[in-house]
Chains A and B, each alone.
Chain A
Amino acid sequence: MVILEVETGRKHEVVIGPVESKDFRKLTKKRYFFNWKEEKDQELYKLRRVDDSEILGLVSFERIPSEWRIHIRLLTVSFENKGTEKQYEGVVGNLITYVAREALKDFGEMGCVSLIPKSKLAHHYMDKYGMRQTGVTLSVELPEILELLTRYDHEK
């Protein structure tokens, strides 16, 4: 998994791993837009460059085995990675792919990742990640989930 440094065009390898208790001190609302302490009891993961401890993005999610799906609860990039001045490209794509990977691992061909963005942003997620719309909910399933994994998971 890699992200692209916008200014230099350089690619950097990233890792996604569980948020540790010592991380919460750094996860301020100002820098990561939500109160992440509320997600302490959820599955909560951070993305960082392999060679740097700086947290660039976060995702919390819930596995719903009875529906063969994983629902993304909160998803964000750090303040520096928001908007046109963003430092890195690909943070959100990698986080969604990580969740998609878990869904495929747990539920095979029935695996599904869902989220509910603001309605005006739905098209962005549909265009960029091949998500489909059901009511207000967006989801990525087979076959798009495979494309997502091929695109992000194997990128070097």
Chain B
Amino acid sequence: MQDEDAEFGVDSRYASYQAQKADGQKLMEARLERMKNVSEEDVKRARLMQLKLQIEDYLEKPTCSKQNFFTNFLSSYIDTIYTKRSSFANDIDITPVRLSQVLNNHREPHEEFMLRLMVHSEKAFQGVCDFPQKTWYQVYYQEKICDTLLREDEWKPRAEKHVKLRYDKKKK
């Protein structure tokens, strides 16, 4: 009987801000204590899931700003799995210098880089959660689209000089 009625309603609004603060403090102490028993593996799983959820959010509601989403997400991904970024570079068989150039937006990730990243992510997310293969490409191109639109004033006058629209006369 107890379980039958358990789910029709919970009202757990705090009576005051003080009550919320006091409850939060007690809860925090207990949580920090419990966190000591959480395995490194679970922390890693949580961070990978967090990254996936953040990427999903970005792809659902893309923000057009000067932020570097692709490299920010990529840096989080690498830092979740490795203590040294050079280890990731070794694992996908590129030089640490090349990786650093990509992460610092000094160089575009070439196709081979993207393909290796896809394979790496497939392995890393195995047993954690679903991470569609196309994800990194989607983030990369989404950012490219936004970046292009944001810089329209820079490229459009230049491009317009080279574009005409002339219709061919139809043959009778």
Residues of B within 8 A of A112 (CB): 27, 31
Known: A74-B12, A82-B7. 8 other contacts (CB 8 A): A72-B10, A72-B12, A73-B13, A114-B27, A124-B6, A142-B43, A143-B42, A146-B42
- Is A97 an interface residue, CB under 8 A from the partner? no
- Is B155 an interface residue, CB under 8 A from the partner? no
A130 CA to B43 CA, complexed, in Å: 18
Q: A70-92 interface mask toward B, CB cutoff 8 Å, 1 = contact, 0 = none?
A: 01111111000111100000011
Of residues 1 to 35 in B, which have CB atoms within 8 Å of A's CB atoms?
A: 2-14, 20, 23-24, 26-28, 30-31, 34-35
A146-B30 contact in complex given A33-B9, A77-B8, C-beta closer than 8 Å: no
B23 adjacent to A109 (CB under 8 Å) = no
Name A's interface SS: mixed
Of residues 10 to 40 in A, which have CB atoms within 8 Å of B's CB atoms?
A: 33-34
A137-B23 contact in complex given A105-B53, A142-B46, A146-B46, C-beta closer than 8 Å: yes
A116 adjacent to B3 (CB under 8 Å) = no
Using CB atoms and an 8 Å cutoff, list the residues of chain A in contact with chain B. Answer: 33-34, 64, 67, 69, 71-77, 81-84, 91-92, 101, 104-105, 108-112, 114-117, 120-121, 123-125, 132, 134-135, 137, 139, 141-143, 145-146, 149-150, 154
Chain B residue nearest to A138 in the complex (CB): B12
A104 CA to B43 CA, complexed, in Å: 11
- Is B105 an interface residue, CB under 8 A from the partner? no
Most interface-central of A77, A81, A124 (chain B CB within 10 A)? A124
Residues of B within 8 A of A116 (CB): 10, 12, 23
Which single member of B4, B6, B38 contacts A125 (CB below 8 Å)?
Answer: B6
Residues of B within 8 A of A81 (CB): 8
Which single member of A75, A104, A137 contacts B49 (CB below 8 Å)?
Answer: A104
A134-B42 contact in complex given A33-B9, A75-B9, A76-B9, C-beta closer than 8 Å: no
A108 adjacent to B46 (CB under 8 Å) = yes
A73 adjacent to B12 (CB under 8 Å) = yes
Chain B contributes a number of interface residues (CB within 8 A of A) equal to 37
Which single member of B8, B20, B53 contacts A71 (CB below 8 Å)?
Answer: B20
- Is B54 an interface residue, CB under 8 A from the partner? yes
- Is B47 an interface residue, CB under 8 A from the partner? yes
A142-B35 contact in complex given A67-B24, A76-B9, A115-B10, C-beta closer than 8 Å: yes
Residues of B within 8 A of A114 (CB): 12, 23, 27
A132-B34 contact in complex given A69-B24, A109-B43, C-beta closer than 8 Å: yes
